[in-house]
Chain A
Amino acid sequence: MKLTLRIWRQKGPKDRGGMVAYDVPDASADMSFLELLDVLNERLIESGEEPVAFDHDCREGICGACSLVIDGVPHGPQKATTTCQLHLRHFRDGQSIDVEPWRAAAFPVVKDLVVDRGGLDRIIEAGGYVSAPTGSAPEAHATPIPKADADAAFEAATCIGCGACVAACPNGSAMLFTAAKATHLGLLPQGKVEQDTRVDAMIHAHDEADFGGCTNTGECTAVCPKGIPLGVIGRFNADVLGAVRRGR
Protein backbone atom coordinates (compact mmCIF):
# COMPACT_ATOMS: atom_id res chain seq x y z
CA MET A 1 0.00 0.00 0.00
CA LYS A 2 1.01 3.61 -0.58
CA LEU A 3 1.02 6.09 2.25
CA THR A 4 1.97 9.74 2.55
CA LEU A 5 3.49 10.73 5.87
CA ARG A 6 3.67 14.31 7.07
CA ILE A 7 6.26 14.14 9.82
CA TRP A 8 7.42 16.75 12.32
CA ARG A 9 11.12 17.34 11.63
CA GLN A 10 13.16 19.33 14.13
CA LYS A 11 16.99 19.28 14.11
CA GLY A 12 17.35 19.94 17.84
CA PRO A 13 15.75 21.55 20.90
CA LYS A 14 16.48 25.07 19.61
CA ASP A 15 15.31 24.47 16.03
CA ARG A 16 11.86 25.80 15.05
CA GLY A 17 10.87 22.62 13.24
CA GLY A 18 8.04 21.95 10.80
CA MET A 19 6.03 19.29 9.01
CA VAL A 20 7.75 17.54 6.06
CA ALA A 21 5.87 15.23 3.63
CA TYR A 22 7.28 11.83 2.60
CA ASP A 23 5.76 9.24 0.26
CA VAL A 24 6.13 5.59 1.23
CA PRO A 25 4.95 3.62 -1.83
CA ASP A 26 6.09 0.18 -0.65
CA ALA A 27 4.29 -0.17 2.70
CA SER A 28 2.61 -3.45 3.65
CA ALA A 29 -0.62 -3.76 5.62
CA ASP A 30 1.14 -6.20 7.96
CA MET A 31 3.77 -3.68 9.01
CA SER A 32 3.59 -1.93 12.34
CA PHE A 33 3.67 1.85 12.32
CA LEU A 34 7.27 1.81 13.55
CA GLU A 35 8.27 -0.57 10.77
CA LEU A 36 6.80 1.94 8.34
CA LEU A 37 9.18 4.54 9.80
CA ASP A 38 12.03 1.99 9.57
CA VAL A 39 11.33 1.55 5.85
CA LEU A 40 11.23 5.31 5.36
CA ASN A 41 14.46 5.75 7.34
CA GLU A 42 16.34 3.14 5.31
CA ARG A 43 15.44 5.02 2.18
CA LEU A 44 16.44 8.35 3.74
CA ILE A 45 19.81 6.91 4.85
CA GLU A 46 20.45 5.45 1.38
CA SER A 47 19.79 8.79 -0.24
CA GLY A 48 22.08 10.50 2.24
CA GLU A 49 19.34 12.27 4.18
CA GLU A 50 18.96 12.47 7.95
CA PRO A 51 16.68 9.65 9.19
CA VAL A 52 13.62 10.49 11.30
CA ALA A 53 14.44 10.18 15.01
CA PHE A 54 11.78 8.39 17.07
CA ASP A 55 11.70 6.51 20.38
CA HIS A 56 11.15 2.75 20.46
CA ASP A 57 12.37 -0.25 22.40
CA CYS A 58 10.47 -3.49 23.05
CA ARG A 59 8.07 -3.20 20.12
CA GLU A 60 5.64 -5.48 21.91
CA GLY A 61 3.59 -2.86 23.71
CA ILE A 62 4.99 -3.23 27.22
CA CYS A 63 7.91 -0.84 27.64
CA GLY A 64 6.34 2.58 27.10
CA ALA A 65 9.19 3.89 24.93
CA CYS A 66 7.24 4.51 21.74
CA SER A 67 5.14 7.60 21.37
CA LEU A 68 3.92 9.59 18.31
CA VAL A 69 0.75 11.59 17.87
CA ILE A 70 -0.77 10.05 14.74
CA ASP A 71 -3.41 12.18 13.02
CA GLY A 72 -3.89 14.06 16.28
CA VAL A 73 -4.31 10.99 18.48
CA PRO A 74 -1.52 9.72 20.76
CA HIS A 75 -0.58 6.16 19.70
CA GLY A 76 -2.92 6.50 16.72
CA PRO A 77 -6.53 5.61 16.00
CA GLN A 78 -6.59 2.07 17.44
CA LYS A 79 -7.91 1.98 21.01
CA ALA A 80 -5.72 0.59 23.82
CA THR A 81 -2.80 0.01 21.42
CA THR A 82 0.74 1.36 21.50
CA THR A 83 2.23 2.79 18.30
CA CYS A 84 4.53 -0.23 17.98
CA GLN A 85 1.51 -2.54 18.00
CA LEU A 86 -0.48 -0.38 15.59
CA HIS A 87 -0.60 -2.03 12.19
CA LEU A 88 -1.02 -0.39 8.83
CA ARG A 89 -4.11 -2.45 8.07
CA HIS A 90 -5.98 0.15 10.12
CA PHE A 91 -5.17 2.78 7.50
CA ARG A 92 -6.49 3.26 3.97
CA ASP A 93 -4.32 2.79 0.90
CA GLY A 94 -3.24 6.23 -0.29
CA GLN A 95 -3.97 7.85 3.06
CA SER A 96 -2.04 10.89 4.25
CA ILE A 97 -1.02 10.61 7.91
CA ASP A 98 0.25 13.40 10.19
CA VAL A 99 2.91 12.34 12.71
CA GLU A 100 3.88 14.68 15.56
CA PRO A 101 5.77 14.36 18.84
CA TRP A 102 4.11 14.54 22.27
CA ARG A 103 3.43 18.24 22.88
CA ALA A 104 3.97 19.54 26.41
CA ALA A 105 6.18 22.08 28.13
CA ALA A 106 7.30 19.22 30.38
CA PHE A 107 8.26 17.16 27.30
CA PRO A 108 10.73 19.29 25.33
CA VAL A 109 11.54 17.98 21.85
CA VAL A 110 15.05 16.50 21.68
CA LYS A 111 14.95 15.82 17.95
CA ASP A 112 12.17 15.15 15.41
CA LEU A 113 9.69 12.89 17.22
CA VAL A 114 11.82 12.25 20.31
CA VAL A 115 10.86 14.14 23.47
CA ASP A 116 12.44 14.20 26.93
CA ARG A 117 9.96 12.51 29.27
CA GLY A 118 12.13 13.11 32.34
CA GLY A 119 9.24 14.92 34.03
CA LEU A 120 7.56 11.56 34.57
CA ASP A 121 10.78 10.17 36.08
CA ARG A 122 10.87 13.03 38.56
CA ILE A 123 7.33 12.18 39.68
CA ILE A 124 8.46 8.57 40.26
CA GLU A 125 11.59 9.74 42.08
CA ALA A 126 9.39 11.84 44.36
CA GLY A 127 7.21 9.00 45.56
CA GLY A 128 6.65 6.22 43.07
CA TYR A 129 8.15 3.47 45.23
CA VAL A 130 7.85 1.80 48.62
CA SER A 131 10.71 2.51 50.98
CA ALA A 132 10.57 -0.82 52.87
CA PRO A 133 13.19 -3.26 51.60
CA THR A 134 10.96 -6.00 50.21
CA GLY A 135 13.65 -8.55 49.48
CA SER A 136 12.61 -11.58 47.48
CA ALA A 137 8.99 -12.25 46.58
CA PRO A 138 7.03 -13.05 49.77
CA GLU A 139 4.75 -16.04 50.24
CA ALA A 140 1.60 -15.07 48.33
CA HIS A 141 -0.75 -15.77 51.23
CA ALA A 142 1.39 -14.17 53.95
CA THR A 143 -0.43 -10.81 53.74
CA PRO A 144 -4.14 -10.95 52.97
CA ILE A 145 -5.22 -8.31 50.42
CA PRO A 146 -8.87 -7.86 49.45
CA LYS A 147 -9.45 -9.11 45.91
CA ALA A 148 -10.96 -5.80 44.78
CA ASP A 149 -7.88 -3.88 46.02
CA ALA A 150 -5.48 -6.32 44.40
CA ASP A 151 -7.35 -6.04 41.10
CA ALA A 152 -7.48 -2.22 41.19
CA ALA A 153 -3.79 -2.02 42.14
CA PHE A 154 -2.87 -4.36 39.32
CA GLU A 155 -4.96 -2.43 36.81
CA ALA A 156 -3.18 0.80 37.82
CA ALA A 157 0.20 -0.98 37.74
CA THR A 158 -0.22 -1.77 34.05
CA CYS A 159 0.68 1.89 33.29
CA ILE A 160 3.80 1.80 31.11
CA GLY A 161 4.60 5.48 31.62
CA CYS A 162 4.54 6.39 27.94
CA GLY A 163 3.06 9.86 28.50
CA ALA A 164 0.16 9.55 26.04
CA CYS A 165 -2.14 10.92 28.77
CA VAL A 166 -0.10 14.14 28.84
CA ALA A 167 -0.02 14.34 25.05
CA ALA A 168 -3.82 14.03 24.83
CA CYS A 169 -4.75 16.24 27.78
CA PRO A 170 -5.96 19.70 26.71
CA ASN A 171 -4.26 21.00 29.87
CA GLY A 172 -1.01 19.05 29.42
CA SER A 173 -1.64 17.35 32.76
CA ALA A 174 0.05 14.13 33.88
CA MET A 175 -2.63 13.30 36.42
CA LEU A 176 -3.55 9.91 34.94
CA PHE A 177 0.09 8.79 35.14
CA THR A 178 0.64 10.22 38.62
CA ALA A 179 -2.64 8.82 39.92
CA ALA A 180 -1.99 5.38 38.41
CA LYS A 181 1.41 5.15 40.11
CA ALA A 182 0.10 6.41 43.45
CA THR A 183 -2.95 4.13 43.30
CA HIS A 184 -0.94 1.04 42.49
CA LEU A 185 1.25 1.55 45.56
CA GLY A 186 -1.32 3.06 47.90
CA LEU A 187 -3.78 0.20 47.63
CA LEU A 188 -1.33 -2.43 48.82
CA PRO A 189 -0.23 -2.92 52.45
CA GLN A 190 3.47 -2.26 51.72
CA GLY A 191 2.67 1.11 50.16
CA LYS A 192 -0.36 2.20 52.16
CA VAL A 193 1.53 3.50 55.22
CA GLU A 194 3.38 6.13 53.21
CA GLN A 195 0.48 7.25 51.04
CA ASP A 196 0.13 10.74 52.60
CA THR A 197 3.75 11.73 52.06
CA ARG A 198 3.76 9.94 48.71
CA VAL A 199 0.82 11.82 47.15
CA ASP A 200 2.08 15.10 48.59
CA ALA A 201 5.53 14.60 47.06
CA MET A 202 4.18 13.29 43.77
CA ILE A 203 1.69 16.10 43.16
CA HIS A 204 4.46 18.61 43.82
CA ALA A 205 6.88 16.94 41.48
CA HIS A 206 4.02 16.89 38.95
CA ASP A 207 3.32 20.61 39.34
CA GLU A 208 7.00 21.55 39.38
CA ALA A 209 7.63 19.71 36.12
CA ASP A 210 5.23 22.19 34.42
CA PHE A 211 2.41 19.74 33.83
CA GLY A 212 -1.02 21.41 33.82
CA GLY A 213 -3.91 20.84 36.21
CA CYS A 214 -6.54 18.17 35.54
CA THR A 215 -10.04 19.25 34.49
CA ASN A 216 -11.55 15.75 34.34
CA THR A 217 -12.14 15.87 30.59
CA GLY A 218 -11.21 12.18 30.24
CA GLU A 219 -9.04 12.64 27.12
CA CYS A 220 -6.24 10.74 28.84
CA THR A 221 -8.06 7.52 29.51
CA ALA A 222 -9.46 7.51 25.95
CA VAL A 223 -5.96 7.29 24.45
CA CYS A 224 -4.20 5.29 27.19
CA PRO A 225 -2.70 2.19 25.54
CA LYS A 226 -3.26 0.30 28.76
CA GLY A 227 -6.78 1.62 29.36
CA ILE A 228 -6.00 3.04 32.82
CA PRO A 229 -9.43 4.12 34.11
CA LEU A 230 -10.21 7.72 35.01
CA GLY A 231 -11.21 6.44 38.45
CA VAL A 232 -7.57 6.47 39.58
CA ILE A 233 -7.64 10.28 39.42
CA GLY A 234 -10.66 10.42 41.74
CA ARG A 235 -8.86 8.12 44.12
CA PHE A 236 -5.68 10.23 43.94
CA ASN A 237 -7.69 13.39 44.64
CA ALA A 238 -9.21 11.69 47.67
CA ASP A 239 -5.71 10.73 48.85
CA VAL A 240 -4.45 14.31 48.43
CA LEU A 241 -7.50 15.62 50.28
CA GLY A 242 -6.77 13.13 53.07
CA ALA A 243 -3.12 14.25 53.21
CA VAL A 244 -4.20 17.91 53.42
CA ARG A 245 -6.69 17.11 56.21
CA ARG A 246 -4.07 15.29 58.20
CA GLY A 247 -1.73 18.24 57.72
CA ARG A 248 0.91 16.53 55.65
Chain B
Amino acid sequence: MATLTRAPGSAGRRRQGASHRSTVTMKIAMALSGAVLLAYLTAHMLGNLKIFFGESSFDHYAHWLRTIGEPLVPHEGALWIIRVGLTVSVVVHMAMAILLTRRARRARPVKYVHRPPVQGSYAARTMRWGGVIIALFVVYHLLDLTVGVANPTGAAGKPYTNVTADFEHWYITVIYTVAVVAVGFHLRHGVWSMTRTLGRRRPGTERLAGRIATGYAVSMTAGFLSVPFAVTVGIVG
Protein backbone atom coordinates (compact mmCIF):
# COMPACT_ATOMS: atom_id res chain seq x y z
CA MET B 1 0.00 0.00 0.00
CA ALA B 2 2.83 2.36 0.76
CA THR B 3 3.85 2.35 -2.88
CA LEU B 4 0.67 4.08 -4.03
CA THR B 5 1.35 7.53 -5.41
CA ARG B 6 -2.08 9.05 -4.89
CA ALA B 7 -2.78 11.31 -1.93
CA PRO B 8 -5.11 9.68 0.59
CA GLY B 9 -8.65 10.60 -0.28
CA SER B 10 -7.91 11.59 -3.87
CA ALA B 11 -9.82 8.55 -5.10
CA GLY B 12 -12.97 9.96 -3.57
CA ARG B 13 -12.42 13.51 -4.81
CA ARG B 14 -16.15 14.17 -5.00
CA ARG B 15 -16.43 13.47 -1.32
CA GLN B 16 -13.60 15.77 -0.32
CA GLY B 17 -14.34 18.77 1.77
CA ALA B 18 -17.35 17.00 3.18
CA SER B 19 -16.02 16.50 6.71
CA HIS B 20 -18.82 18.72 7.92
CA ARG B 21 -21.35 15.97 7.12
CA SER B 22 -19.67 13.09 8.92
CA THR B 23 -20.73 11.37 12.14
CA VAL B 24 -17.81 13.09 13.85
CA THR B 25 -19.17 16.50 12.87
CA MET B 26 -22.61 15.51 14.12
CA LYS B 27 -21.00 14.72 17.45
CA ILE B 28 -19.19 18.05 17.41
CA ALA B 29 -22.57 19.77 16.90
CA MET B 30 -23.92 17.71 19.77
CA ALA B 31 -21.00 18.65 22.01
CA LEU B 32 -21.24 22.37 21.22
CA SER B 33 -25.02 22.54 21.75
CA GLY B 34 -24.51 20.55 24.94
CA ALA B 35 -21.88 23.07 26.06
CA VAL B 36 -24.41 25.91 25.68
CA LEU B 37 -26.94 23.99 27.79
CA LEU B 38 -24.20 23.21 30.31
CA ALA B 39 -23.37 26.89 30.75
CA TYR B 40 -27.05 27.68 31.22
CA LEU B 41 -27.56 24.86 33.74
CA THR B 42 -24.59 26.03 35.79
CA ALA B 43 -25.99 29.57 35.99
CA HIS B 44 -29.47 28.16 36.73
CA MET B 45 -28.17 26.03 39.59
CA LEU B 46 -26.21 28.91 41.14
CA GLY B 47 -29.22 31.23 40.76
CA ASN B 48 -31.45 28.71 42.55
CA LEU B 49 -29.23 28.91 45.62
CA LYS B 50 -30.50 32.49 46.11
CA ILE B 51 -33.49 30.87 47.79
CA PHE B 52 -31.33 30.27 50.88
CA PHE B 53 -30.98 34.06 51.29
CA GLY B 54 -34.74 34.50 51.73
CA GLU B 55 -37.84 35.37 49.78
CA SER B 56 -36.94 38.94 48.84
CA SER B 57 -33.47 37.97 47.67
CA PHE B 58 -34.84 35.15 45.50
CA ASP B 59 -37.68 37.16 44.00
CA HIS B 60 -35.43 40.15 43.43
CA TYR B 61 -33.02 37.91 41.53
CA ALA B 62 -35.87 36.48 39.43
CA HIS B 63 -37.07 39.98 38.55
CA TRP B 64 -33.53 41.11 37.78
CA LEU B 65 -33.33 38.37 35.12
CA ARG B 66 -36.07 40.29 33.28
CA THR B 67 -34.25 43.57 33.43
CA ILE B 68 -30.75 42.45 32.31
CA GLY B 69 -29.33 44.76 29.67
CA GLU B 70 -31.98 47.49 30.01
CA PRO B 71 -32.26 50.01 28.51
CA LEU B 72 -30.09 48.64 25.70
CA VAL B 73 -32.55 45.77 25.23
CA PRO B 74 -36.28 46.02 26.07
CA HIS B 75 -37.82 44.49 29.21
CA GLU B 76 -37.24 40.71 29.18
CA GLY B 77 -35.12 41.22 26.04
CA ALA B 78 -32.05 39.43 27.38
CA LEU B 79 -34.27 36.67 28.75
CA TRP B 80 -35.76 36.06 25.33
CA ILE B 81 -32.34 36.05 23.69
CA ILE B 82 -31.31 33.36 26.17
CA ARG B 83 -34.54 31.44 25.55
CA VAL B 84 -34.02 31.48 21.78
CA GLY B 85 -30.40 30.38 22.21
CA LEU B 86 -31.49 27.53 24.48
CA THR B 87 -34.23 26.43 22.10
CA VAL B 88 -31.82 26.33 19.17
CA SER B 89 -29.34 24.33 21.27
CA VAL B 90 -32.00 21.87 22.42
CA VAL B 91 -33.23 21.38 18.85
CA VAL B 92 -29.70 20.79 17.51
CA HIS B 93 -28.84 18.50 20.43
CA MET B 94 -31.98 16.38 20.02
CA ALA B 95 -31.81 16.30 16.23
CA MET B 96 -28.22 15.01 16.33
CA ALA B 97 -29.15 12.50 19.05
CA ILE B 98 -32.03 11.17 16.96
CA LEU B 99 -29.94 10.95 13.77
CA LEU B 100 -27.06 9.20 15.55
CA THR B 101 -29.40 6.83 17.40
CA ARG B 102 -31.14 5.82 14.18
CA ARG B 103 -27.74 5.31 12.61
CA ALA B 104 -26.64 3.14 15.54
CA ARG B 105 -29.79 1.02 15.24
CA ARG B 106 -29.18 0.53 11.51
CA ALA B 107 -25.56 -0.39 12.23
CA ARG B 108 -26.63 -3.49 14.18
CA PRO B 109 -29.74 -4.94 12.56
CA VAL B 110 -29.28 -8.41 14.10
CA LYS B 111 -28.90 -8.40 17.89
CA TYR B 112 -26.67 -10.70 19.90
CA VAL B 113 -28.40 -13.70 21.47
CA HIS B 114 -26.05 -13.54 24.45
CA ARG B 115 -25.19 -10.01 25.47
CA PRO B 116 -23.94 -9.20 28.97
CA PRO B 117 -24.64 -5.69 30.25
CA VAL B 118 -22.38 -3.21 28.56
CA GLN B 119 -19.17 -2.61 30.44
CA GLY B 120 -19.41 1.14 29.91
CA SER B 121 -20.71 3.27 32.75
CA TYR B 122 -24.37 3.38 33.75
CA ALA B 123 -24.34 7.01 32.63
CA ALA B 124 -23.16 6.05 29.14
CA ARG B 125 -25.81 3.36 28.80
CA THR B 126 -28.68 5.61 29.82
CA MET B 127 -27.84 8.65 27.69
CA ARG B 128 -30.68 8.14 25.22
CA TRP B 129 -33.55 7.22 27.56
CA GLY B 130 -32.18 9.63 30.15
CA GLY B 131 -32.36 12.34 27.51
CA VAL B 132 -36.00 11.52 26.81
CA ILE B 133 -36.82 11.68 30.54
CA ILE B 134 -35.04 15.04 30.81
CA ALA B 135 -36.90 16.42 27.76
CA LEU B 136 -40.28 15.42 29.26
CA PHE B 137 -39.27 16.88 32.61
CA VAL B 138 -38.26 20.20 31.01
CA VAL B 139 -41.78 20.50 29.53
CA TYR B 140 -43.33 19.87 32.95
CA HIS B 141 -40.80 22.17 34.65
CA LEU B 142 -41.67 25.05 32.29
CA LEU B 143 -45.41 24.52 32.84
CA ASP B 144 -44.77 24.38 36.58
CA LEU B 145 -42.44 27.28 37.31
CA THR B 146 -42.36 29.42 34.16
CA VAL B 147 -45.94 29.35 32.85
CA GLY B 148 -47.37 28.36 36.22
CA VAL B 149 -50.32 26.24 35.04
CA ALA B 150 -48.92 23.05 36.60
CA ASN B 151 -48.03 24.78 39.87
CA PRO B 152 -50.18 24.32 43.01
CA THR B 153 -50.23 28.10 43.50
CA GLY B 154 -49.18 29.54 40.13
CA ALA B 155 -48.76 33.07 41.50
CA ALA B 156 -47.44 35.31 38.70
CA GLY B 157 -44.26 37.16 39.59
CA LYS B 158 -43.82 35.33 42.90
CA PRO B 159 -41.30 32.56 42.22
CA TYR B 160 -40.49 32.00 45.91
CA THR B 161 -44.15 31.31 46.70
CA ASN B 162 -44.43 28.94 43.73
CA VAL B 163 -41.25 27.01 44.56
CA THR B 164 -42.21 26.50 48.20
CA ALA B 165 -45.76 25.56 47.18
CA ASP B 166 -44.31 22.84 44.92
CA PHE B 167 -42.08 21.07 47.36
CA GLU B 168 -44.53 20.96 50.22
CA HIS B 169 -45.96 18.05 48.21
CA TRP B 170 -43.72 14.99 48.58
CA TYR B 171 -44.60 13.63 45.12
CA ILE B 172 -43.43 16.81 43.40
CA THR B 173 -40.15 16.51 45.30
CA VAL B 174 -39.90 12.91 44.05
CA ILE B 175 -40.49 13.98 40.41
CA TYR B 176 -37.81 16.66 40.67
CA THR B 177 -35.39 14.28 42.38
CA VAL B 178 -35.74 11.64 39.66
CA ALA B 179 -35.30 14.27 36.94
CA VAL B 180 -32.29 15.91 38.59
CA VAL B 181 -30.58 12.55 39.10
CA ALA B 182 -31.23 11.79 35.41
CA VAL B 183 -29.64 15.15 34.56
CA GLY B 184 -26.69 14.25 36.79
CA PHE B 185 -26.01 11.00 34.92
CA HIS B 186 -26.51 12.74 31.59
CA LEU B 187 -23.97 15.37 32.60
CA ARG B 188 -21.46 12.78 33.78
CA HIS B 189 -21.22 11.08 30.40
CA GLY B 190 -22.01 14.24 28.44
CA VAL B 191 -19.15 16.29 29.89
CA TRP B 192 -16.71 13.43 29.54
CA SER B 193 -17.83 12.66 26.00
CA MET B 194 -17.62 16.35 25.09
CA THR B 195 -13.96 16.48 26.07
CA ARG B 196 -13.35 13.47 23.79
CA THR B 197 -15.38 14.82 20.88
CA LEU B 198 -13.93 18.30 20.91
CA GLY B 199 -10.63 16.52 20.68
CA ARG B 200 -7.75 15.97 23.03
CA ARG B 201 -4.48 15.38 21.32
CA ARG B 202 -2.52 14.79 24.48
CA PRO B 203 -2.72 11.20 25.65
CA GLY B 204 -3.56 10.31 29.24
CA THR B 205 -6.15 13.05 29.70
CA GLU B 206 -9.03 10.53 29.92
CA ARG B 207 -8.74 9.95 33.64
CA LEU B 208 -8.58 13.65 34.45
CA ALA B 209 -11.52 14.38 32.14
CA GLY B 210 -13.48 11.58 33.83
CA ARG B 211 -12.80 13.00 37.29
CA ILE B 212 -13.77 16.51 36.23
CA ALA B 213 -17.00 15.18 34.69
CA THR B 214 -17.89 13.23 37.83
CA GLY B 215 -17.12 16.18 40.10
CA TYR B 216 -19.15 18.54 37.95
CA ALA B 217 -22.13 16.16 37.68
CA VAL B 218 -22.18 15.48 41.42
CA SER B 219 -21.98 19.15 42.40
CA MET B 220 -24.69 20.10 39.90
CA THR B 221 -26.97 17.33 41.18
CA ALA B 222 -26.38 18.32 44.81
CA GLY B 223 -26.92 22.00 44.02
CA PHE B 224 -30.19 21.40 42.21
CA LEU B 225 -31.50 18.94 44.82
CA SER B 226 -30.70 21.23 47.73
CA VAL B 227 -33.68 23.49 46.96
CA PRO B 228 -36.54 20.93 46.90
CA PHE B 229 -35.11 19.09 49.91
CA ALA B 230 -34.64 22.30 51.88
CA VAL B 231 -38.31 23.13 51.28
CA THR B 232 -39.52 19.60 51.99
CA VAL B 233 -37.70 19.35 55.34
CA GLY B 234 -38.67 22.92 56.25
CA ILE B 235 -35.32 24.75 56.13
CA VAL B 236 -36.81 27.04 53.47
CA GLY B 237 -40.42 28.23 53.27
Residues of A bordering B, CB below 8 Å = 6, 8, 19, 69, 71-73, 98, 100, 103-106, 124-131, 133-134, 148, 152, 170-173, 194, 197-207, 210-219, 222, 229-231, 233-244, 247-248
Chain A residues positioned under 8 Å from B199 (CB to CB) = 234-235, 237-242
Whether B27 contacts A237 by the Cβ 8 Å rule is: yes
Whether B7 contacts A131 by the Cβ 8 Å rule is: yes
Whether B22 contacts A207 by the Cβ 8 Å rule is: yes
Whether A215 contacts B124 by the Cβ 8 Å rule is: yes
- Please tell me which one of the listed residues A194, A216, A247 contacts residue B8 in the complex, with CB atoms under 8 A apart: A194
**A212 to B105, alpha carbons, bound, how many Å?**
8
Chain A residues positioned under 8 Å from B8 (CB to CB) = 126-131, 194, 197-198, 201-202
Whether B5 contacts A201 by the Cβ 8 Å rule is: no
- Please tell me which one of the listed residues B7, B9, B193, B200 contacts residue A238 in the complex, with CB atoms under 8 A apart: B200
Whether A240 contacts B9 by the Cβ 8 Å rule is: no
A71 with B197: in contact, given A126-B12, A129-B8, A244-B19 (CB under 8 Å)? no
Residues of B bordering A, CB below 8 Å = 1-12, 15-20, 22-28, 100, 103-104, 106-116, 118-121, 124-125, 127, 189, 192-193, 195-201, 203-206
Whether A213 contacts B103 by the Cβ 8 Å rule is: yes
Chain A residues positioned under 8 Å from B116 (CB to CB) = 71-73
Closest CB of chain B to A245's CB: distance in Å? 10
Task: Name which of A125, A211, A229, A244 has the most chain B CB atoms within 10 A of its CB.
Answer: A244
Whether A201 contacts B9 by the Cβ 8 Å rule is: yes
**A194 to B8, alpha carbons, bound, how many Å?**
7
**A138 to B127, alpha carbons, bound, how many Å?**
49
Chain B residues positioned under 8 Å from A247 (CB to CB) = 17
29 A–B contacts from the bound complex (CB under 8 Å): A8-B113, A19-B113, A71-B114, A72-B114, A126-B12, A197-B16, A200-B9, A200-B18, A201-B8, A203-B19, A204-B12, A204-B18, A204-B19, A213-B26, A213-B103, A214-B24, A216-B192, A217-B120, A219-B120, A230-B206, A234-B205, A235-B203, A237-B28, A237-B196, A237-B197, A238-B198, A238-B201, A239-B199, A243-B19
